[in-house]
Every structure is written in structure tokens, then in C-alpha cells.
């Protein structure tokens, strides 16, 4: 019986990159199918679609690192994309001033808060795939969302990204009535930026957001923890990728600076922080370390870990039960803190 591939695939950009990406997809499909014939799923509960997607993301990202031209690398990343499909009702309106980014709106927004979303991508990419993830988060919480398009590495190193995030946050604070009820959220490197932003807001004595949400946050740019190696065979992100992104982001600056690696920071007094992660991702040890450090400091942090899930698994929407459940939890947390 033929197995239908479950996730919609989108193509963009030059045909050469589309073709290369499509060939990479078929390599992943073949490799995973053969491996499963002999050994079963790589982890319990993994469907063929999920495992192929995970393998494809790893191969595609590794291929992107081979480009010396970073604009071409980003174009290649966007050539072939998977989408969950159930975020299509979200509208997107791009803006250039006073900060660059886009507003995302759900058809029936029921929450009066405004969300500032900080995307992942190792600080080096802003993939079109994030339209899908941001849309899923917006749909889950039903609130107007501004996704910041901050400057990327290696062209711009730290603190450019934090400066851009602070500028966006100040703009939202000054934009009444939205400034009364702000949430900040982000995934991966964007989760790192969320935590750094909270610390900077506290240091500069700005009005604090009601809530922070971090999806698979990069809490320690020194990339320590056994899971960086032990989970490489499961996750689509590798230690080599994380090390390169850290090198570009820090550009010779101290990687243990609390505003770069928030696990080293003073966390007491920060607003509530809700974190989601997967047990099979390479960042899980540092995420747990951050949670432990936060609890030692009596910070208001909640960590929820989904068994056998990989980095940014929420992007699968309703197509994966764990992703669907995680998005529902995000909506519940927002309603708890923001009504």
C-alpha cells in the first residue's frame, strides 16, 4: 500500500534550489523508509511523515551551511518548506517603520493583549517557515501579534538583535492601549532573545510584560550539556550548527555574558516565563539547567517537556498530537495570565 506524505510542501525561489531541495526530500524519504523497514521508528510514536520531515530539515540546513553567500543560503532554506496547513486563516501585514516586521491577525481575536514574537533561526535565518509557526501561535492565543524582523548574523553580531528587540518593545509599550498588556514570545534563538530582552527590560526599569513564552529556547550560547551530542541523531539541529551560530552571534564577545547566555543571569523579579521543549532536542539539558537555576532564584518559571519531541516541534500544528497539545497549552497559559 502506498503511504501518502501528510505535510503540505511549498516551493519558492529559483528552480535550481527547488530541485535540489526536492531531491533532498526524496533522499530523506528513501533513507527513512528503508531504516524503518529494518529498525522501526527512530523513537516511539514517530510517524513516517514526522521522521522524514525531521531528517529533511537536518539535511536541508546542513546543505545551507555549504553556501559562502549568506543570501543564497537563506534563499536555499526557503526553496522547499513544510507547512502544517492549519494556520492559513491568519493574515499578515508587513511594516517598515518605526521598526521592521509584520502584524499577524487571527479572524476572531478574543484576547486584548498584544504579542511581540521573536523568531528563531540561529540569529542567522528568518525562514519563510516561520510564517507557519507564528501563525499557529497566533491562532492558539487569538491575539494580535507583531513579529519583529531583527538584523541577522553574521552581517550583524550581538547586540544588534537585542537593540532591535528593545526598540520594538518600547514601540509597543508606547502604543496605547496595547502597551498595557504585552506578551513576549519566541522560539530557539528567538527564545534566547526573549530571555535577554526580559533581563534588559529589568535593568532599564521599563514596564514589564505580563508573560514570556519560550519555545525550545537557546539558553546557553556556550552550548554545554550532554544532550548536545546524545540527541544529535534524533534532532534536526546539530551541535556543529549551534557552534557556528554562536560564533557568528558573539563575534569574539564573551559567550557567558548574561545578556548572551541567560542561564548565567540574575532572574529574580522577572515576569512569569513559560517554556516548552522536547526531550529529544539537543538543547534540552541547557533548558533544564535554566529551569533549575530560575527555581533556585525563586523566579516564576514553568517548564513543560514533551517526550520524544524535537526542536520547535510545535510547527507541526494539528498534524502531530504533541504539537497540537503544546499549542493548546500556550493558549491556556495566555488566558491564565492575560484573561
- The contacts of residue 329 (CB under 8 Å, 6+ apart) are 276, 304
Hey, is 273 helix, strand or coil?
Answer: strand
Give me the residues paired with residue 187 across strands: 215
Q: What's the rounded mean pLDDT across residues 198-212?
A: 96
Residue 85 confidence (pLDDT) above 80: no
Residue 163 confidence (pLDDT) above 90: yes
Residue 175 confidence (pLDDT) above 90: no
pLDDT digits (tens, 9 = 90+) for 45-80: 999 999 999 999 999 999 999 999 999 999 999 999
| Measured distance CA(165)–CA(189) in Å, rounded | 13
CA atoms within 13 A on the CB side of 108: 0
Q: Domain extents for the chain? A: 9-82, 91-338
At residue 1 the predicted structure's pLDDT band, cuts being 50, 70 and 90, is very low
Residue 84 is predicted with a pLDDT of 79
Scored b (16 or more CB within 10 A) or e, 122-133 reads bbbbbbbbbbbb
Residue 106 is predicted with a pLDDT of 85
- The CATH class given to the 91-338 domain equals alpha beta
Q: Closest by alpha carbon to 314, among 109, 86, 73?
A: 86
Residue 6 is predicted with a pLDDT of 62
- Is pTM beyond 0.75? Reply is yes
Residue 87 is predicted with a pLDDT of 67
Residue 83 confidence (pLDDT) above 90: no
Known catalytic residues? 188, 281, 311
Residue 199 is predicted with a pLDDT of 98
Cell of 4: 501518502
Share of the chain above pLDDT 70, in %: 95
At residue 8 the predicted structure's pLDDT band, cuts being 50, 70 and 90, is confident
pLDDT digits (tens, 9 = 90+) for 96-113: 989 999 999 988 777 788
At residue 178 the predicted structure's pLDDT band, cuts being 50, 70 and 90, is low
More confident position, 82 or 135: 135
Residue 339 is predicted with a pLDDT of 74
At residue 180 the predicted structure's pLDDT band, cuts being 50, 70 and 90, is low
At residue 176 the predicted structure's pLDDT band, cuts being 50, 70 and 90, is low
At residue 4 the predicted structure's pLDDT band, cuts being 50, 70 and 90, is very low
Residue 309 confidence (pLDDT) above 80: yes
Please give the mean pLDDT across all residues of the chain.
93
pLDDT digits (tens, 9 = 90+) for 231-250: 999 999 999 999 999 999 99
Give me the residues paired with residue 277 across strands: 305
Amino acid at each position: 500500500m502506498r503511504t501518502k506524505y501528510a505535510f503540505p510542501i511549498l516551493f519558492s525561489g529559483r528552480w535550481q534550489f527547488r530541485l535540489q531541495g526536492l531531491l533532498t526530500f526524496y533522499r530523506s524519504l528513501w533513507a527513512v523508509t528503508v531504516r524503518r523497514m529494518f529498525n522501526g521508528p527512530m523513537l516511539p510514536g514517530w510517524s513516517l511523515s514526522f521522521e522524514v520531515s525531521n531528517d529533511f530539515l537536518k539535511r536541508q540546513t546542513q546543505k545551507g551551511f555549504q553556501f559562502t553567500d549568506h543570501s543564497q543560503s537563506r534563499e536555499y532554506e526557503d526553496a522547499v518548506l513544510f507547512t502544517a496547513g492549519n494556520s492559513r486563516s491568519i493574515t499578515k501585514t508587513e511594516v517598515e517603520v518605526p521598526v521592521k516586521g509584520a502584524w499577524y491577525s487571527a479572524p476572531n481575536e478574543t484576547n486584548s493583549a498584544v504579542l511581540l514574537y521573536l523568531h528563531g533561526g540561529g540569529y542567522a535565518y528568518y525562514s519563510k517557515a516561520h510564517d507557519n509557526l507564528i501563525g499557529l501561535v497566533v491562532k492558539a492565543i487569538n491575539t494580535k501579534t507583531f513579529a519583529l524582523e531583527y538584523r541577522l548574523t553574521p552581517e550583524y553580531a550581538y547586540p544588534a538583535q537585542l537593540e532591535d528587540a528593545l526598540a520594538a518593545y518600547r514601540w509597543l509599550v508606547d502604543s496605547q492601549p496595547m502597551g498595557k498588556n504585552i506578551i513576549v514570545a519566541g522560539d530557539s534563538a528567538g527564545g534566547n532573545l526573549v530571555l535577554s530582552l526580559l533581563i534588559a527590560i529589568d535593568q532599564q526599569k521599563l514596564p514589564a510584560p505580563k508573560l514570556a513564552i519560550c519555545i525550545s529556547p537557546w539558553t546557553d550560547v556556550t552550548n554545554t550539556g550532554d544532550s548536545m551530542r546524545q540527541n544529535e541523531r534524533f534532532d534536526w539541529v546539530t551541535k556543529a550548527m549551534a557552534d557556528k551560530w554562536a560564533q557568528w552571534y558573539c563575534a569574539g564577545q564573551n559567550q557567558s555574558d548574561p545578556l548572551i547566555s541567560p542561564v548565567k543571569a540574575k532572574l529574580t523579579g522577572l515576569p512569569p516565563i513559560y517554556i516548552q521543549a522536547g526531550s529529544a532536542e539537543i538543547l534540552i539539558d541547557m533548558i533544564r539547567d535554566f529551569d533549575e537555576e530560575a527555581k533556585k532564584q525563586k523566579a516564576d518559571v514553568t517548564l513543560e517537556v514533551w517526550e520524544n519531541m524535537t526542536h520547535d516541534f510545535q510547527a507541526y500544528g494539528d498534524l502531530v498530537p504533541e504539537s497540537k497539545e503544546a499549542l493548546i497549552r500556550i493558549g491556556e497559559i495566555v488566558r491564565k495570565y492575560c484573561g
